[in-house]
Chains A and B, each alone.
Chain A
Amino acid sequence: MTERPYGIMAEFDTPDALMEAVRATRRAGFTRIDAFSPFPLPDLAEELGIRTSIIPWIAFVAALIGAGLQYGSQYWMNAVDYPLNVGGRPLNSWPTFIPSTLIVAILWAGAATLLGLLVILRLPRLHHPVFSAHGFERVTNDRFFLCVLGEDPLFDNGATRDFLEGLSPLAVREVPA
């Protein structure tokens, strides 16, 4: 018996055709599928049940940490560790500590969100099995792909291929593992 492939990929030329195909594939009971497109398809993401609500949480928590650290360090440095009396102003001059507290909160939120994004997407990953599918390079231009992964419980090399052929794609190709 040969090794299971990474998956089987069907190629479409419109986002609507891809949407139809995804719906049909899910109706057929496949759960481990992936779709690829040259631009964001929010409706399809919803159809696939992708929830991105962790992103604002990353930003929020990072902002709190950044703000706390910045205010805390300003307070500790200028009021506790090395009390600095400037013209008799209070040691904890909170109004003057606010601007950089807000700025650093944004720094933490922005950097954590964008770097966290790369972690979530597991990038950089320069090589990926899907790249070996013939014609896949057009995914960044004008083609839409649906891939049923080999790890799907219903996956069967011949039957899955026949099923995808039935969705009237431009082409169906096997993606080697």
Chain B
Amino acid sequence: MTSEAQAVTRTVAEVPLTRRFGVVWWGALLASGALVLLLGYTLVSVTLVGVGVWGINVPFVWGFDLINYAWWIGIANGASLFAAILVLRRHDLRTAVNRFAEGVAFFAVICAGIFPIIHLGRPWLFYWVFPYPATFQVWPQFRSTLTWDFWAISTHAIVTSLLWYVGLIPDLATLRDRARSRAVKRIYGVFALGWRGSVRDWAYHQRAYRLVAILVLPLILIMQSTVAFEFAVTLVPDWHETRQPLHFVATGLAQGLSIVLLVAVLLRWGLRLGPYIDEGDIDLLGKLVLASALVSGYLYLDEIVSALLADRIAQEATFNRLTGDYAGLYWTAIVYSILIPQLLWFEVARRSTLACVFVGFSIGVGIWFDRFSIIVGGLQTDYLPSIWRTYSPTLAETGLFLGTVGLFAALLLLFVRFLPVVSMFETRHDEHEEKSS
């Protein structure tokens, strides 16, 4: 006795409940696991030896640490912002991509959080930014962006993970009730907290979920601006600009969307979720990525116009990024994050898995180069010409970056294997509405 509604969510539910994981999944987990080991190694080495193992030196007080932090936090914020907008608009696309957009955001914020802690030099004292009654009787300096960042990252991590988990509860209950072995049933049962689908529970659940999803919206804008403030409040000529928050919000959204697109097409292909993440969804996502890339393009133009209007030293600093030692970074960013996404004007490209993977990946790469260009290229020309030199990352920094990529991939792989990647109850709801209309 199989009814239609049961068939609707079977594919999604079957993924976490089957034992055979497939060669590709194991291979990918093995590769990302190796990178996680590398992450552990680089973290231990920088903790034991100190930040001297990195290529940073005055004026380059920040290097890969902040580049990668800003990059990961952009992915986290972009993906969260996207998920929040979908909930706010009650869009059909929400069902298909909301769950893993939140997942991407959560995993990215974990990766991002590693950098500010490790870059302190004495990472074991990171709790000093928290206002606790210390024996030496001083309080944190709350006018510093570093303390804002502490609150922003911890808030994002707590709220996103709670939201993600609360949204998962009903689907965990589905897995509990569909599980074939007793142990699996127990595990999902504990995490489902005894959800029984009462209409009253649903009403409260939906209200709370929507409300918090909307709260995430201002959080993301403030948080992404905080990242930008860290640069804007300094006196570094290229950074001291009021346009920084706008630049970081716009490019961060493009980046988050592109990673969501990348993960969406990979999931569709890897888990055969065609009916749940359909071509229309991917097509729409492609258009959004294109639109956000165009907005980024506008912001790059704004950067040049602002520089032309700025004082001579700031102007020189910005044009040094465009033509100096690090010009390659800037132009790579332009090509990867602005020009390549123009492919998405064509419907053929938006509907092709390969093209979407290519574009999603290239925006991610492009924005990484943009952050590299802003941080390193921006620091190169300070007021004091005698300290002008160049920076290049050491193996320890590269390892740290690759390690976080591995951590992100590993978390994503475990997520797609053990949890429903598409919201099953919302799929059922939409199917029902379609049938009755």
Contact = CB atoms under 8 A, between A and B. Distances in A.
Interface residues of B, number: 66
A41 B162 contact: no
A118 interface: yes
Max chain A C-beta neighbours (<10 A), residue from B197, B219, B222, B426: B197
Given A106-B215, A106-B218, A125-B193, A48 B3 contact: no
B137 interface: yes
Interface string B186-204: 0001100111111111111
Q: Which 7 A-B pairs have the closest CB atoms?
A: A142-B5, A77-B139, A124-B193, A110-B159, A45-B203, A137-B177, A39-B429
B205 interface: yes
B117 to A, nearest CB: 18
A123 interface: yes
Interface of A: 13, 15-16, 34-42, 44-45, 48, 50, 52, 55-56, 59, 70, 73-74, 77-78, 81-82, 84, 86, 89, 93, 96-97, 99-100, 102-104, 106-107, 109-111, 113-118, 120-121, 123-128, 130-131, 136-142
Given A52-B207, A127-B194, A13 B173 contact: no
Interface of B: 3-6, 9, 131, 137-143, 147-148, 151-152, 154-155, 158-159, 162-163, 166, 169-170, 173-174, 176-178, 189-190, 193-208, 211-212, 215-216, 218-219, 222-223, 225-226, 229, 425-426, 428-429, 432, 436
A106 B141 CA distance: 21
6 contacts: A36-B196, A50-B204, A99-B225, A107-B159, A117-B166, A128-B196
A103 B196 contact: no
B162 A111 contact: yes
Where chain A touches its partner, the secondary structure class is helix
Given A40-B425, A82-B139, A140 B199 contact: no
A102 B177 contact: no
B215 A48 contact: no
Nearest to A106: B219
B427 to A, nearest CB: 9
